[in-house]
């Protein structure tokens, strides 16, 4: 059994049973007649306390100091009531097998290590309470995401990672290169190329894809093609941005969830975003109780109550114009001054959700068209577009979405206005040529959601292997 199963119902169901546990040694206390070993198998936060004495088979390895923190072990024993106050049950060990020794240099010792230090040990940090809990909550959020959309009739589609289009038009794409030795004739297959002495590597990607190719910044445009065939769809996959921002909420590689709703407008989109957020937050509160209690106690005091409120209360909705007015009348000194037409900075976003609305998620809608992407549907005022961002406390922007411009002539005019090459969007324009429908969608940065749900303050600590400027090891 996994430790999580043993601990279920305080262990009452397994009392007296002969069981095997396999995991990694967290702590070890040698006393004169007994030894206590705490084993963690990753299934939950709790360790299995194992009690051994000299009668246990394999005890000599414990006595001689071979079993240390970090080692992997197999233990077999009987579940008994624990004398200690920290746990209800413990394992009275009959046999212990040391599977893998741990060198004394093992860097994850009981003394708490800083998050910065652990980032340099990303291959081992999952063996700590914090990173184990983050991984399980992240997993639960991913499961709840699929559950929400599947139960609401959405079809999951895979959007490509390599693409020639720039969805957001912000010039933040990583280029895909295919390097071959300079001596290689590009008419041959580059796969067989054997580099010669003094070869340089040359970029062959233009020939490979026929045009420059990039890592996707968003799967939205591809999702739209399927939404205009299957109705509601969603993507859930990695996306990439070469933005050189070293902040606690930006990654160069992050996962995005992008639903696209057919026969839908901005109101439907905002309703979907709110229902989704409430569903997944409720899911982790109900299904990750032990880990959430850990975050509540050690990482972000009171987070469970605040999240319960989010799951219960309606999300506030205001317009961009109202948001600007709110910021203008606030007494706050912002680094970036506010006036109608400006893009909201994270200090503004956080003020709105944290202070103006007291920690409630807020959706801001109808942004000026000049600060938003080409595909957003123009409102009748000619100045704004049917865009929406959802802001949450501690993070700022969690979701960005919009109703899409479904009218061919408006979309073409907008591409011209922005001096974008219409030919490159021929397939996207086709969707407006053949059976166009009102449709809308949004993108949610999955790591920001994990941050929001766990209260972890740095985005580098909620993805197993963070990619940021200057860091792509592991």
Contacts to ligand 4AD by CB under 6 A: 167-168, 218, 220, 241, 243, 250-251, 254, 256, 258, 397-402, 441-445, 447-448
Looking at the Cβ atoms of 240 and 283, the one nearer to Mg ion is 240
**Residue 370: how many other CB atoms lie within 10 Å:** 12
Looking at the Cβ atoms of 135 and 270, the one nearer to Mg ion is 270
Task: Give the one entry of Mg ion, ligand 4AD, none that residue 157 binds, where binding means its C-beta sits below a cut-off of 5 to 8 angstroms depending on kind.
Answer: none
Residue 171: CB minimum distance to Mg ion, A: 15
Looking at the Cβ atoms of 137 and 459, the one nearer to Mg ion is 459
Residues, the chain: 474
Separation CA 254–CA 459 (nearest Å): 10
Residue 10: CB minimum distance to ligand 4AD, A: 39
Separation CA 227–CA 137 (nearest Å): 30
Residue 423: CB minimum distance to ligand 4AD, A: 21
Tokens of 117: 């230090």
Looking at the Cβ atoms of 50 and 388, the one nearer to ligand 4AD is 388
Residue 254: CB minimum distance to ligand 4AD, A: 4
Separation CA 375–CA 170 (nearest Å): 13
Instruction: Using CB under 5 A, list all residues that contact Mg ion.
Output: 400
Taking each helix axis as running N to C, give the angle between helix 303-312 and helix 266-287, from 0 to 180 degrees, rounded to the nearest 10: 140
Write 112-120 long-range contacts (CB < 8 A, 24+): 115/458, 115/461, 118/461, 119/460, 119/461, 119/466
* Distance separating the N- and C-terminal Cα atoms of the chain: 31
- CA angle (353, 280, 155) in 5-degree steps: 115
- CA angle (236, 366, 232) in 5-degree steps: 30
Residue 443: CB minimum distance to ligand 4AD, A: 3
Looking at the Cβ atoms of 11 and 401, the one nearer to Mg ion is 401
Task: Give the one entry of ligand 4AD, Mg ion, none that residue 218 binds, where binding means its C-beta sits below a cut-off of 5 to 8 angstroms depending on kind.
Answer: ligand 4AD
Coil, strand or helix at 400: strand
Task: Give the one entry of ligand 4AD, Mg ion, none that residue 447 binds, where binding means its C-beta sits below a cut-off of 5 to 8 angstroms depending on kind.
Answer: ligand 4AD
Residue 247: CB minimum distance to ligand 4AD, A: 9
Task: Give the one entry of Mg ion, ligand 4AD, none that residue 7 binds, where binding means its C-beta sits below a cut-off of 5 to 8 angstroms depending on kind.
Answer: none
Looking at the Cβ atoms of 205 and 235, the one nearer to ligand 4AD is 235
């Amino acid at each position: 059994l996994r430790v999580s199963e043993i601990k279920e119902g305080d262990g009452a169901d397994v009392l007296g049973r002969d069981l095997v546990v396999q995991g990694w040694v967290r702590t070890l206390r040698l006393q004169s007649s007994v030894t206590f070993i705490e084993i963690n198998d990753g299934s939950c936060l709790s360790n299995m306390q194992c009690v051994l004495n000299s009668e246990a088979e394999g005890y000599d390895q414990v006595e001689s100091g071979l079993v240390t923190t970090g080692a992997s072990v197999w233990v077999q024993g009987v579940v008994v009531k624990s004398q200690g106050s920290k746990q209800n049950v413990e394992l009275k060990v009959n046999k212990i097998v040391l599977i893998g020794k741990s060198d004394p240099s093992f860097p994850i010792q009981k003394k708490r290590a800083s998050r910065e230090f652990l980032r340099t040990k990303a291959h081992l940090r999952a063996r700590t309470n914090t990173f184990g809990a983050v991984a399980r909550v992240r997993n639960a959020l991913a499961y709840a995401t699929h559950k929400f959309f599947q139960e609401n009739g959405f079809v999951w589609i895979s959007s490509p990672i390599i693409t020639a289009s720039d969805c957001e038009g912000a010039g933040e794409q990583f280029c895909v290169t295919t390097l071959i030795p300079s001596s290689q004739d590009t008419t041959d297959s580059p796969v067989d190329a054997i580099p010669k002495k003094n070869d340089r590597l040359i970029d062959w990607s233009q020939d490979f894809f026929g045009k420059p190719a990039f890592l996707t910044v968003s799967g939205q445009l591809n999702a739209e093609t399927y939404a205009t065939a299957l109705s509601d769809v969603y993507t859930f996959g990695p996306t990439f941005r070469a933005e050189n921002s070293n902040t606690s909420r930006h990654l160069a590689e992050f996962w995005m969830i992008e639903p696209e709703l057919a026969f839908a407008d901005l109101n439907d989109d905002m309703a979907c975003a709110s229902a989704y957020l409430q569903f997944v937050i409720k899911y982790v509160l109900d299904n990750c109780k032990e880990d959430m209690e850990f975050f509540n106690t050690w990482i972000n005091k009171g987070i469970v109550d605040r999240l319960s409120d989010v799951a219960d209360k309606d999300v506030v909705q205001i317009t961009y114009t109202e948001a600007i007015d709110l910021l203008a009348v606030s007494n706050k000194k912002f680094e970036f001054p506010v006036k109608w037409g400006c893009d909201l900075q994270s200090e503004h976003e956080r003020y709105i959700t944290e202070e103006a609305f007291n920690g409630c998620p807020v959706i801001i809608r109808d942004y000026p068209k000049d600060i938003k992407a080409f595909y957003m549907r123009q409102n009748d005022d000619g100045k704004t577009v049917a865009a929406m961002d959802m802001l949450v406390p501690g993070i700022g922007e969690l979701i960005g979405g919009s109703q899409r411009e479904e009218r061919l002539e408006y979309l073409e005019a907008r591409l011209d206005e922005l001096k974008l090459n219409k030919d490159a969007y021929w397939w996207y324009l086709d969707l407006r040529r053949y059976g166009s429908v009102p449709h809308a969608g949004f993108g949610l940065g999955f790591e920001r959601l994990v941050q929001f749900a766990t209260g972890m303050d740095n985005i580098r600590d909620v993805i197993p292997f963070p990619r940021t400027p200057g860091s792509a090891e592991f």
